[in-house]
Chains A and B, each alone.
Chain A
Amino acid sequence: MANKNNGNGATKVKLTKADFTSDNEVRWCPGCGDYSILSQVQKLLPTLGVPKENFVFISGIGCSSRFPYYMDTYGFHSIHGRALPIATGVKVSNPELSVWVITGDGDALSIGGNHFIHALRRNLDINILLFNNRIYGLTKGQYSPTSEFGKVTKSSPYGSVEQPIRPVNLALAAEATFVARSVDRWPHHLSEMIRKAYEHKGTSLVEIYQNCNIFNDGVFSDYTEKDVKDDNTIVLEDGKPLIFGKERDKGIILDGVTPKVVELNDGYSVSDLLVHHEKEESPVMSHILANIEFYGGPVPVGIFRSIDKPRYEEMLIDQMNDTIEKNGKGDIQDLLNSGHTWNVN
């Protein structure tokens, strides 16, 4: 256990990645995308200026949910699907804590689907890292709620007959205040998205495309392989036009309410392109972006939406403080003595 501290300890020492690395042996399969995410988080945390003891990592069940064991922070490896309500209780209890939820596609969207929606709409100041590998890894290879239609797995030998959930769409429907997507093999982008998620005051969701090299290898190779990834993805940047492609020669325009891919040298210029505004109050444009795949467009990565709305825990505490300011702090004997009382002598 490291004794360095940059918060309320006596000496201010610069924290490093090593301070956030626990002595537990990491037990993910060699080559798993989770290693990259762990490494980015361990590198990022020392740079945030938060006392180490104020970080709490909470997870559910699944491969990704082993994450807290590998972090030398406060950690809670809970039960399947329930990391978010536990995080809600932690944050409401102590808003000073930096609360991180580590979850997977099964954990967050199947067994914990209800909590996912409600955490996002409540907007507590917590960060959710959703490791989406589109498969059940820990139970050895069944289809997950994000698996493609027709996916052949152990539990769907004739192909899955379920439509997948798109986590970003679901989060936008719940009017989440921060919604982003990144990829395990894009370390710089991933690190940047996690930093932005931390900086956002409110519930932040980062969907991370994560490769399971044992049960679903290559599921995201269209977005990770050097020769194709730039043509298949578009990086969302606030205030910038939607340009993509290996040669940066393609863009997105809006034709009525329909997004359309256009070639920049084919009669279209940059000024014709749709400009991304992540702080737009209405979620409509972010929904359109989240669905450009339906119109033959690339998969967006980056921040879909980042807006400021009051935080649940702050409002709860404000109500409490306002009531105390108005009526004074409660006296327990007075409370017991309240209502219709009478004396017996």
Chain B
Amino acid sequence: MTDKTTERSETIEPEDILENIESATIRFAGDSGDGMQLAGTQFTNTTAIFGNDLSTLPDYPAEIRAPAGSLPGVSGFQICFSSKDVKTPGDEPDAMVIMNPAALKVNIKDLQTGGILIVNEDAFKTLNLQKAGFETSPLEDDSLSAYRLIKIPITKLTLNALEKFDLTNKIKERSKNFTALGIIFWLYDRPLEPTVNWVNEKFAKVPEVAKANITALKTGYNFASTTRIFASHYSIKKAKMKAGKYRNITGNEATALGFVTATTLAKIPLVYASYPITPASDILHELAKHKTFGVKTIQAEDEIAAICAAIGASYAGSFGITGTSGPGLALKSEASNLALITELPLVITNVQRGGPSTGLPTKTEQSDLLQAMYGRNGDSPLPILAAATPADCFYMAFEAVRLAIEAMSPVILLSDGYLGSGAEPFAIPNIKDLPKIKIMHHTDPKTFEPYKRDKKSFSRPWAIPGTFGLEHRLGGLEKSDGSGDVSYDPENHQLMTDYRHKKVESLANLIPELEVYGAKSGKLLVLGWGSTFGAISTAVEKEQKNGTDVSSAHLRYINPFPKNLGKVLGSFEKILIPELNMGQLSMIINAKFNLKVIQLNKVHGKPFLIHEIIKKIRLTLEGK
């Protein structure tokens, strides 16, 4: 916490100290049955409405219900919120809410020294302690002396407050996340109304449960306020954000909205075909709601069927999109090539997760870049885009649709688990400011040849079944330039292969140039792509403030690269590429620009921390 100014309120007793701070990072952690994701989401919504900038990181287990109280069953939710610009969910939490011993065991190492540690002491009983591998209660020895430990009987408080409710004890106990939330709301001086409204809406059909949750929320708030168990509480002023209307959005929601927006504005029906897979399923859930926009969703029998249905939809004149995560992209590779050779527009979204194989389904990673670039048979270039932040998913989804139509080609859009389930405020755009997308279905039989190419974009005409006089055959076999007849001619195969490359390369004329943050030349450029944007840009800004000669740039277009990338790379003495993989972008950059970049690689299933990047910047500049 920085920039502390102490204020004393005149209406409250002198002991109640409200400190103004610039930003805070907090984490809720408990058993997956403890409702920590809900508590985190409610805190996020309230904080967004309150007007802070924020960034969140849900961290939940792969198991739906791992054994209660076990280490694998721990679920966490972290949020960083501030009166200034926030680009990451924060490195080390300032405060943690810990609902059981297992959550303590898993999370405590991340808490800042001197950080606030709120613990539900009711959960620290022999059995739970054993499950978490504690021989004695850490609340009773001095193992937590580095933190400001605050023991609260959250379960008891909840049950006492709900004593007169006509609910079973089991149901009553479930409200304890609201009690914890109430405590945190007081600690960070947040209003209760948004959560009260949400509870009333969500539990409208079970008013007794709604009332119980609200009672628990107020119990926690009042407990914190009246017992003075905290030395002080904190206020974080509204952030100075660009004027406009905002909403809180996750990357997956933003991706879905980007697709609906692009296709609606282009006046083309959207068909989204997908097979459920973590962490991409939320895109399917979101799109399935939007029937009033003519969106058709197909839950296919497998990953291959999903992409094939999307191809069929595009062939018949809709815009086909499929979404998946790494293992699903592998299954879709043959069909992606079918879309590539038949030159049909399509978007394939990959919300990346830890690999290889099933890997770490609920954890984030950026390790499918090479799969997206090269994971198909033959010479098969595809445009590849990568979103930088949860809100940026909206714009890159829109771009993916636009470029797929321009090039008559499948486009791969890379997001990841961190972007997909992480959230941030989204400045809602005015649709009038978005790029125009024009759909041209060929109709004139006199001028029609299936593979007659546009001279500029090298794309072929989109002729859809049902159009009089344009009957033709498409397929996975190599086609003759122009006529589209099956061709085994050697020269023709070379020509068509060249065209497929040129088509992708020519998109460089339709995408923005790479922007450099900081000096346009100098000692060090930190180059990133995808979800590392927040950590990299924050780290570089901090170092720039210290007078360090370092700039950053972020790639959102990976195939083709922005036209000025070579020039940018040539303007710096050293290039550092941090990636959540073992060096995939580095490999592409080294090969294309004949460089030897410096790498920072991490595959912990978690995003970079700001200080990890700062450390590497310093080491690099020191020549280590």
Chain A interface residues toward B at CB < 8 A: 1-3, 5, 7-9, 22, 24, 51-54, 56, 58, 61, 68-69, 72-79, 82, 84-94, 96-97, 114-115, 117-118, 316-317, 319-320, 323-324, 327-330, 332-333, 335-345
Contact = CB atoms under 8 A, between A and B. Distances in A.
A324 B291 contact: yes
A123 to B, nearest CB: 14
Given A332-B264, A332-B265, A85 B473 contact: no
A68 B486 CA distance: 12
B589 interface: no
Given A79-B335, A335-B257, A340-B49, A327 B301 contact: no
A18 B242 CA distance: 66
A61 B338 CA distance: 12
Q: Chain B: interface secondary structure? A: mixed
Nearest to A61: B476
Range class of the B interface residue count: 35 or more
Contact of A333 (B48, B49, B194, B431): B431
A72 B473 CA distance: 8
B430 interface: yes
Contact of B304 (A8, A82, A333, A339): A82
B475 A85 contact: no
Interface string B233-247: 000000001111111
Contact of B305 (A72, A92, A94, A115): A115
Contacts of B45: 340
A96 B466 contact: yes
B468 A341 contact: no
B291 A323 contact: yes
Interface string B473-494: 1111100000001100000000
B293 A89 contact: no
Contacts of A97: 316, 465-466
Interface in B287-331: 290-294, 296, 298, 300-302, 304-306, 308-318, 320
Leading 3 A-B pairs by shortest Cβ distance = A89-B312, A77-B475, A85-B308
A184 B387 CA distance: 54
Contacts of A328: 292
A96 B464 CA distance: 12
B428 A341 contact: yes
B292 A324 contact: yes
Given A324-B291, A333-B431, A343-B245, A54 B49 contact: no
Contacts of B317: 93-94
Q: Chain A: interface secondary structure? A: mixed
B470 interface: yes
B465 A90 contact: yes
A75 B188 CA distance: 64
Interface of B: 45, 48-49, 51, 194, 241-248, 257, 260-261, 264-265, 269, 271, 273, 290-294, 296, 298, 300-302, 304-306, 308-318, 320, 334-335, 338, 342, 428-431, 445, 464-477, 485-486
Contact of B471 (A9, A61, A74, A342): A74
B243 A94 contact: no
B475 A90 contact: no
Given A9-B468, A22-B473, A90 B293 contact: no
A337 B261 CA distance: 12
Given A3-B445, A92-B271, A330-B264, A53 B312 contact: no
Given A93-B318, A332-B264, A88 B257 contact: no
A79 to B, nearest CB: 5
Given A8-B468, A332-B265, A86 B311 contact: yes
Nearest to B427: A344
21 contacts: A9-B468, A53-B469, A75-B473, A79-B335, A82-B305, A85-B304, A85-B308, A88-B312, A89-B308, A89-B309, A92-B298, A93-B296, A94-B464, A97-B466, A114-B301, A328-B292, A333-B431, A335-B260, A336-B257, A337-B245, A344-B243
A85 B312 contact: yes
B470 A341 contact: no
B269 A89 contact: no
Contacts of B247: 337-342
Given A3-B445, A332-B431, A343 B290 contact: no
B471 A73 contact: yes
Contacts of A9: 468-469
Contacts of B261: 332, 335-336
A327 B466 contact: no
Nearest to A81: B304
Nearest to B263: A332
Given A320-B296, A330-B290, A336-B428, A94 B475 contact: no
Contacts of B244: 343-344
A119 B302 CA distance: 12
Nearest to B249: A339
The interface centre, meaning the residue of B194, B431, B471 with most chain A CB atoms within 10 A of its CB, is B471
A52 B265 CA distance: 32
A41 to B, nearest CB: 15
B442 to A, nearest CB: 13
Contacts of B242: 344
A83 B265 CA distance: 31
